[in-house]
């Protein structure tokens, strides 16, 4: 009886916290389908989550007011390049730190860990000046290359690789495989969960990045989605429906990807210990 009560209370607490986390997302999505006049009017009541009248006007507005497809493609290109190149570079760096024996390895590992505590905002200005001085601005590559090497990604891979049984790699070595081949044919197939986790964490972090593209881009040809939303912050009155619709469209690809790779992500989180 007591156990049932405890389980019930635990489930209730989980439901409440899940609702608290889901409420903003639900407000965003539901609000994007409401007529402009109802969004703020309903905001203070349960009606915020249950539209009486559905409309696609806000979505029509978004496509009329900005070149959404172009900004989406820019974001996909920038983030896709960043994730793929990041997976390659950071996994190799982590493998070298976790498995290879070379002089200065502990020092480099310490250095990588130390850079984890430096926020991007602290290096944004010197990085901006340095790259501007060599004329590297206003294209998509400048939004990718500075972020390919990522200490958090290296650390996540390092933790995962360090936990893999060495016997697998030793068997490959006995069969004559070199380091790179061992990595590609033995380690990578066994580390899918880590790759999925790092990909999703990287994407979550950079998909909404605002400061760097703001500093480095001028024209729409290289501007990602987070900058495009600033188009909707015009002279009053603001059209909140358009802003919510744009937000929904911006969140959708990441959400979809997360749902698709949810299992691998959860396995990776458990294995690399990034939960909590």
Partner 1 sequence: MGGVLLAAALAVWAPPPARAHAPYALTVWFHAGQPGERRVMRAAVDAFNAEQDAARVRLVLIPEGSYNGQVQAAALAGDLPDVLEFDGPYVYNYVWEGKLIPLGGLLPKRLLRDLLPSVVRQGTYAGRLYSVAMFDSGLGLWGNRRLLERAGVRIPTDPAGAWSAAQFDRVLAALARHDRDRRVLDLKLDYPGEWLTYAFSPLIESAGGDLIDRRTGRTARGFLDGPGAVSAMRRVQSWFRRGYVDPDVRGDAFVSGRAALAWGGHWNYPRYHRALGRDLVLMPLPRFGPRLVTDSGSWNWGITTACRRPRLAARFLEFLLRPRWILAMTAANGAVPATRTALARSPLYRPGGPLRLFAVQLEEGYAEPRPRTPAYPVISSAFQQAFRAIRNGAPVRAALRRATTVIDRNLRDNDYYPPIAVVRRVPAAGGGR
* Shortest distance (Å) from residue 227 CB to partner 1: 6
* Shortest distance (Å) from residue 43 CB to partner 1: 7
Q: Is 57 in the site for partner 1 (CB under 8 A)?
A: no
For Cα atoms 102, 106, 108, give the angle at the middle one, nearest 5 degrees: 85
Q: Is 104 in the site for partner 1 (CB under 8 A)?
A: no
Which one, of 254, 246, 239, 160, lies nearest residue 201 by Cα? Answer: 254
* Shortest distance (Å) from residue 199 CB to partner 1: 28
Nearer to partner 1, 46 or 233 (CB): 233
Counts for the chain of helices (H) and strands (E), in that order: 15, 0
* Shortest distance (Å) from residue 15 CB to partner 1: 29
R_g over Cα of the chain: 23
DSSP codes of every residue in 151-204: HHHHHHHHHHHHHS-HHHHHHHHHTT--HHHHIIIIIHHHTHHHHHHHHHHHHH
* Shortest distance (Å) from residue 230 CB to partner 1: 3
Q: Considering only 73-81, 180-188, 213-221, 251-259, which stretch makes contact with partner 1 by CB under 8 A?
A: 213-221
Nearer to partner 1, 49 or 240 (CB): 240
- CB-side neighbour CA atoms (13 Å) of 248: 19
Q: Is 48 in the site for partner 1 (CB under 8 A)?
A: no
Interface map 65-84 toward partner 1 (x if CB under 8 A) = xx------------------
The helix/strand/coil state of 215 is helix
- Two structure tokens written together for 221: 């040809």
Q: Scan residues 119-138 and list those touching partner 1 (CB under 8 A).
A: 128-129, 132, 137-138
Q: Scan residues 127-186 and list those touching partner 1 (CB under 8 A).
A: 128-129, 132, 137-138
* Shortest distance (Å) from residue 45 CB to partner 1: 12
Q: Residue 193: is it exposed, middle or buried by C-beta count within 10 angstroms (0-12/13-18/19+)?
A: buried
Nearer to partner 1, 195 or 232 (CB): 232
Among 18, 19, 23, 43, binds partner 1 (CB under 8 A): 43
* Shortest distance (Å) from residue 248 CB to partner 1: 18
Interatomic CA distance for residues 271 and 97, integer angstroms: 18
Which one, of 219, 203, 216, lies nearest residue 257 by Cα? Answer: 203
Residue with tokens 């502990």, as numbered in its chain? 106
Q: Is 245 in the site for partner 1 (CB under 8 A)?
A: no
Phi, psi of 172 (to 5 degrees): -65, -40
Residues that bind partner 1 (CB under 8 A): 37, 40-41, 43-44, 64-66, 128-129, 132, 137-138, 214-220, 227-238
């Amino acid at each position: 009886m007591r156990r049932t009560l405890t389980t019930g209370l635990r489930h209730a607490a989980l439901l409440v916290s899940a609702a608290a986390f889901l409420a903003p997302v639900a407000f965003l999505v539901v609000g994007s389908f409401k007529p402009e006049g109802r969004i703020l009017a309903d905001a203070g009541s349960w009606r915020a989550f249950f539209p009486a009248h559905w409309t696609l006007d806000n979505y029509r507005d978004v496509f009329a007011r900005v070149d959404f497809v172009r900004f989406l493609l820019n974001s996909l290109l920038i983030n896709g390049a960043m994730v793929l190149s990041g997976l390659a570079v950071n996994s190799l760096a982590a493998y070298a730190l976790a498995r290879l024996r070379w002089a200065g390895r502990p020092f480099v590992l310490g250095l990588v860990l130390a850079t984890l505590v430096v926020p991007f905002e602290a290096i944004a200005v010197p990085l901006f000046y340095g790259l501007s001085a060599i004329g590297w601005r206003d294209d998509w590559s400048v939004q990718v290359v500075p972020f390919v090497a990522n200490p958090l990604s290296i650390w996540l891979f390092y933790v995962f690789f360090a936990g893999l049984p060495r016997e697998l790699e030793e068997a490959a070595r006995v069969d004559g495989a070199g380091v790179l081949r061992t990595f590609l044919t033995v380690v990578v197939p066994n580390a899918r969960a880590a790759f999925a986790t790092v990909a999703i964490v990287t994407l979550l972090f950079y998909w909404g990045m605002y400061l760097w593209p703001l500093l480095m881009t001028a024209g729409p040809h290289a501007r990602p989605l987070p900058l495009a939303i600033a188009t909707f912050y015009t002279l009053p009155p603001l059209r909140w429906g358009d802003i919510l619709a744009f937000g929904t469209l911006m969140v959708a690809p990441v959400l979809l990807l997360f749902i698709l790779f949810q299992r691998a992500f959860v396995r990776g989180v458990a294995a690399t210990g990034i939960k909590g």
